[in-house]
Structure 1
């Protein structure tokens, strides 16, 4: 099949590579978000998908929106059989959904209809799900509501972060896309999503990632893992914000009030509404990430110190 591929982050690159390497298919163009300012000096840099496409000599269309304008017209004029989406980051208007002969399919990192939206993996971890997955479905105007070609579930590990899960799924779920393309080529039709079990996964905000020490230790740990590496869970100490990138529920009884910190040479503990968590990795504002115990030594925590 002749394919338009749409994606932006690194998690989309394995699928792009698999399609471009498959002799049954030809990726004729790639749609991705415009170059974004990154780093301390805010230097514009191409998306990981743009880099991958450039390395493979595939033409790239950069656009924040394809509702109108040059990018819209370029896509409408493409002679493609199907468009494949993996985390492009923008909505596709109705007229473009009908432009490819077989429409558009989307690789979404949940087993739909659970976790429709921009942050399915993050929300699944935060909710304490024991498994997660991926789905390839027909793109329609309603968010993540199209009929399903194929899906798969994968176990969620107790130490998984959103970053580790997305990296793993980006490789493991690629086969779902190639299987779906085979089904479409054979004339098979997708199955409607069930009406029961619908949940939503809106994009995470900075406020969503703030640590509330009154929560149970298990829920704090889920919050940290679900928001790592971005946007990153955070707290404040003496008016200074710092990120908490990795935690572990402390297994032993400890007498700490919610938000109270206690450190020794190897550990930094924080009391919670139930139990305590060990702050394994923290990142002070403007500095590199470091072990929590190292940060605590530099902060000279006094006995009874509590988060703001």
Structure 2
């Protein structure tokens, strides 16, 4: 089929590659504008833009559906639009541009976790299972009828970054099979059923760790905000990024600690929660490079009185 592909982050690249490999004609790639990245704030194309250009595809960059963009897409005679994490709303005029409309690969089992951060919120909730849904895009937020859905487990130690990386690969194969069935008219969309929940985009306010919560809640929260926006605690008013933690085994020697208090057993560092302690594996102090937690704690003269807030 003649397809328009819309996507922005690295998680959308496997789907673009899979559609190209499957023989579809990608008449244009729609992605968000170049953004300033890193400490030096260098203006950088999105991963999808970069990959589209590598493939020699027509790349359209826009953060919103202007009349100019809509007209450009309408003149491409595309049969179907495919979206994977584009990051902006598609208005009704643009929805009508491809003859078959648009389909969206979404990383949750709709109507669960509609919105911008479904994989992150699934991990933060402590879910043991999530999935992917391919649905017909409508003007409402992830409300369209469903063509296909597939479940996928959430690993006990997976961060949201790990989960998204895996779903991006699994979703690419799932997407190509579904697009093929849509093109062959062998698949019909059915309305969503059940109560909707929502997964709003994560912000800096989601970084704060509440150490007084139960250990499983703290663990899920930290994994859910890793790598972005990242888990952060304060030490003497300075931010300390919590890069990785783990749940100690039942037979491990673990100190008794109040929430946020630190303790070492041999080379292992633990931090207290509202229930049992977690092992602190790696951290990044403000203005410094990531380091093992034991090295960070060993370098502190006040190690015995430190508290993460």
TM range (shorter): over 0.9
| Structure 2 contact 255–270 (Cα < 8 Å) conserved | no
Residue matched to 2:189: 190
Residue matched to 2:28: 29
Q: Distance in 2 between matches of 1:80 and 1:87?
A: 20
Q: Distance in 1 between matches of 2:188 and 2:262?
A: 56
Q: Distance in 2 between matches of 1:16 and 1:287?
A: 37
Q: Secondary structure at the match of 1:15?
A: helix
- Give how far 1:111 is off: 1.0
- CA-based RMSD of the aligned residues comes to 1.4
Among candidates 157, 175, 194, match of residue 173 of structure 2: 175
Q: Return 5+ residue gaps in structure 1 as ranges.
A: none
> CA deviation digits over 1:116-174, x for unaligned, max 9?
11111111111111111111100011111111111111111111011111111111111
Residue matched to 2:236: 238
Q: Secondary structure at the match of 2:294?
A: helix
Q: Distance in 1 between matches of 2:286 and 2:27?
A: 43
Q: Return 5+ residue gaps in structure 2 as ranges.
A: none
Q: Secondary structure at the match of 1:34?
A: coil
Distance 1:20 1:263, change over 3 A: same
Q: Distance in 1 between matches of 2:303 and 2:184?
A: 68
| Structure 2 contact 70–97 (Cα < 8 Å) conserved | no
Q: Distance in 2 between matches of 1:69 and 1:288?
A: 45
Equivalences for residues 1-308 of structure 1 within 5 A? 1-23=1-23, 25-66=24-65, 68-187=66-185, 188-194=187-193, 196-251=194-249, 252=252, 253-264=254-265, 266-308=267-309
Q: Distance in 1 between matches of 2:20 and 2:135?
A: 20
- Give how far 1:264 is off: 5.0
Distance 1:71 1:301, change over 3 A: farther
User: How many residue pairs are counted as aligned between the two chains?
Assistant: 305
| Structure 1 contact 250–275 (Cα < 8 Å) conserved | no
TM-score (norm 2): 0.95
